[in-house]
Amino acid sequence: MTSMRLDKYLKVSRIIKRRSVAKDISDSGRVKVNNKTAKSSQQVSPGDEISIAYGEKTLTVRVLSIEPQMRKEEASNLYEVIEEKGD
């Protein structure tokens, strides 16, 4: 698999715990992929950068791989944190 919907990727990687929450955050304009505002249906691929605004915080990660499902212990292997800003 070389790409996946943004909302599903956020859930599988456990950056956001529930897909419905990932979809709501994406569709409200708080997620950017490669510096462009993204909707939940946007495809993400390895190498893409995802920035998520959580209130006062911003988390930026780089997609390392795409997997259809992942165990909780290994989910952080799907991405690397580039930057965390805020309190």
Q: Give the residue extent of every domain in the chain.
A: 4-85
For the segment 26-52, what is each residue's pLDDT rounded down to a tens digit? 999 999 999 999 999 999 999 999 999
**pLDDT of 72 strictly over 80:** yes
Tell me which CATH code domain 4-85 carries.
3.10.290.10
Q: Rounded to an integer, what distance in angstroms lies between the CA atom of residue 63 and that of residue 66? A: 8
Q: What is the pLDDT of residue 1?
A: 66
Q: What is the pLDDT of residue 2?
A: 87
Structure tokens at 13: 């990687």
Mean pLDDT of 48-63: 95
**pLDDT of 84 strictly over 90:** yes
Q: Cα torsion for 21, 27, 29, 35, to the nearest 10°? A: 100
